[in-house]
Each structure stands twice: as structure tokens, then as C-alpha cells.
Amino acid sequence: MRTLENDHEWGPILVGTDGSDGACRAIYAAAGLAADLGTGLWIVHVIDGTSSTAVTQFKHAEKASIGDATEAAASDILLEAARRAESIGGKKPRTVLRWGASAKGLVAAAGEVGAKAILVGRRGVGGRLAQAFIGSVSQKLAGNSPDNLVIVP
């Protein structure tokens, strides 16, 4: 593999995560690519406003607001993703937490950090039923990403 001197030649890699198995595979792929290229890695989680059962349970157990519970769960997802990426080697990943539509949030974050590639898993936590009605994040990115896009199976 070709190793580059710094982020300026190729640019950082951005990977989206929702904590799913597909996202975990994308984390490993992105971390390996960033290490091979000698560039930075940004891990992004976008809170899309939907609440999961785990967040709802946390909210009731901790007597926290849904926003606080959602941010706590999202922070855990980012922390675990960063641990996985660090196990590959390369530069320490940077993490970003955003609110909004997932695909739009990933594209916006990629633009802000100057990412030259976005990696995501093929299927996230939404499952097939949600994808049938609203489409998957990877499908939306395929039509809207101005950067290189890698969809990890």
C-alpha cells in the first residue's frame, strides 16, 4: 500500500457509525485505510431523532431527559467505535456527534473536515422494514455524496 506524508495529500477518512454490525465492519475498513494512507480518521455518529428501546429504558432508569439519554447512548457508540479503530493502528481517531438526518449529517461533516472518502456499512440499525419506507443511509449517500463513498458489506 502507498503511504502518504500527511492529510494534505489525500485527506482524512470519515466513517459513519450507528453501532450496528455493518458500521463495525466499516470502522475496521476505514481505520485500515487511514492507517495505510497515513491520514486522519474521523468517526461520526448522527442522532436522527428516533429513539431506540435502549435509550427509552435508560431514560426511565436514570430519570434523564430523552435528549440526555440519546446523547449518552450516542457517546457510548462513538467511544466503542474509537476503541475499535485504535486497535488497527494509525493516528488516533477523532469523533463527532451530530443531530439531524444521517446522510446529510455525514456529508456535512465530511465537508467540514475535508474528508476525501466516506465509509459506511451497507445496513445499519434501521433494518429492512425502515429501509423499505425511508431508504437506507448508504442509498442516500450514494446519490448525494460529493466525495468517494465506500459501502462496506
Q: pLDDT value at position 60?
A: 58
Residue 128 CA to residue 68 CA, distance in Å, equals 28
Domain 18-41+49-114+124-152: top CATH class: alpha beta
Amino acid at 29: A
Q: pLDDT value at position 150?
A: 92
Amino acid at 31: A
- At residue 47, what are phi and psi to the nearest 5 degrees? -80, 115
> Whole-model pTM?
0.80
Q: pLDDT value at position 61?
A: 59
For the record, the C-alpha cell of 33 comes out as 485505510
10-residue mean pLDDT series, the chain (153 residues):
51 93 95 94 87 54 69 90 93 94 94 94 60 65 84 91
Q: pLDDT value at position 7?
A: 46
Q: pLDDT value at position 73?
A: 84
Contacts with 128 (C-beta within 8 Å, 6 or more apart), sequence order: none
| DSSP letter for each residue of the chain | ----SSHHHH--EEEE--SSHHHHHHHHHHHHHHHHHT--EEEEEEE-S---HHHHHHHHHHT--HHHHHHHHHHHHHHHHHHHHHTT-SSPPEEEEEES-HHHHHHHHHHHHT-SEEEEESS-TTHHHHHHHH--HHHHHHHH-SSEEEEE-
